[in-house]
């Protein structure tokens, strides 16, 4: 949740913004890490709430399930059923607007602690360059224990063509192919295999 800046020298329009709790369980195989939620996401208290952000469409393509039509809680549950978790590299920071380039005075999340609590995670996917650069620094040597997948940002600020983004995001499929199928519907199983 964002709160007005109380730090001297910070313009009043710059606020301290905080990430959401992780969405992860013991079935999670891939942890997708963003940088820090944008303004619309913070306002709605939902990961990737900006309709111009293509995260939900890209994950729909990866999983073969239309997440876009689902309500938020069902989207999160579907990700978890497919072995996908969400979190952010940055726990909190000052940032004017939503651009990663405006992140200042950041405190990072305890990524290493989370990974140790969830040993089934095999891959870490960074949603965008900022998440990747900061996330790899936070992980340090622990990064070598995981498949690291650098994804083009789903943000509208990253102007790569959607088709190219979707092709690159499909790199998540091989890691998700071994997710236990006992908690997937037959439609969901078929989506991952294609």
pLDDT number for residue 95: 60
The pTM is what?
0.83
Structure tokens, 161: 């063509």
140 occurs within a structural domain:
yes
Q: Is residue 35 part of a domain?
A: yes
Q: How confident is the model at residue 36 (pLDDT cuts 50, 70, 90)?
A: confident
Has 102 been annotated as catalytic?
Answer: no
CA nearest to 31, candidates 157, 182, 175, 129 = 175
Domain assignment present for 9: no
3 in a structural domain: no
Is position 184 within any domain? yes
Cβ–Cβ < 8 Å for 87, 189:
no
Residue 13: inside a domain: no
- What was the pLDDT predicted at 7? 43
Residue in 60, 28, 21 with CA at minimum distance from that of residue 183: 28
Residue 98 falls inside a structural domain: no
Q: CATH no. for residue 82?
A: 3.40.470.10
Whole-number Å distance between alpha carbons of 107 and 167: 32
Q: Residue 93: which pLDDT band, with cuts at 50, 70 and 90?
A: low
Quote the pLDDT of residue 99. Answer: 55
Radius of gyration of the chain (CA): 16
Active-site hit among 53, 102, 107, 109 = 53
pLDDT of the residue at 101: 54
Q: Please give the C-alpha separations between residue 12 and each of 90, 94, 157, in angstroms, as whole numbers.
A: 21, 11, 24
Beta carbons of 85 and 28 less than 8 angstroms apart: yes
Cβ pair 175, 147 in contact under 8 A? yes
| Token pair listed for 139 | 């992980």
Q: Does the pLDDT at position 13 exceed 80?
A: no
* Domain of residue 142, residue span: 22-90+107-193
Cα→Cα distances 17→43, 47, 93, 112, 184, Å? 11, 14, 5, 22, 35
Q: Which of 64-68, 107-111, 164-168 has the lowest mean pLDDT?
A: 107-111
Report yes or no on 1 lying in a domain. Answer: no
Residue 99 vs residues 36, 128, 133, 153, 177: alpha-carbon distances, Å: 9, 12, 15, 12, 33
Question: Is the pLDDT assigned to residue 25 strictly greater than 70?
Answer: yes
Count the domains in the chain.
1
The pLDDT assigned to 65 comes to 96
Question: Poorest-confidence range of 4-13, 68-77, 100-109, 148-157?
Answer: 4-13
In order of 22, 79, 146, the CA distances from 25 in angstroms are 9, 10, 17
């Amino acid at each position: 949740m964002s709160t007005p800046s109380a730090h001297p020298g910070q313009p009043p329009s710059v606020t301290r913004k905080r990430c959401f709790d992780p969405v992860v369980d013991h079935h999670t195989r891939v942890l997708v890490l963003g940088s820090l939620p944008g303004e619309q996401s913070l306002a709605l208290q939902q990961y990737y709430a900006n309709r111009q952000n293509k995260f939900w469409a890209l994950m729909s393509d990866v999983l073969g399930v239309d997440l876009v039509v689902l309500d938020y809680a069902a989207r999160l549950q579907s990700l978890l059923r497919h072995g996908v978790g969400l979190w952010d590299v940055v726990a909190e920071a000052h940032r004017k607007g939503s651009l990663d380039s405006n992140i200042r005075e950041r405190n990072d999340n305890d990524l290493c602690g989370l990974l140790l609590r969830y040993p089934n995670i095999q891959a870490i996917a960074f949603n965008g360059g900022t998440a990747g650069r900061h996330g790899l620094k936070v992980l340090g040597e622990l990064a070598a224990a995981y498949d690291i997948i650098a994804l083009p940002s789903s943000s509208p600020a990253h102007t790569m063509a959607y088709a190219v983004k979707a092709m690159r995001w499909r790199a998540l499929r091989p890691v998700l192919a071994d997710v236990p199928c006992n908690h997937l519907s037959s439609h969901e199983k078929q989506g991952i295999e294609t």
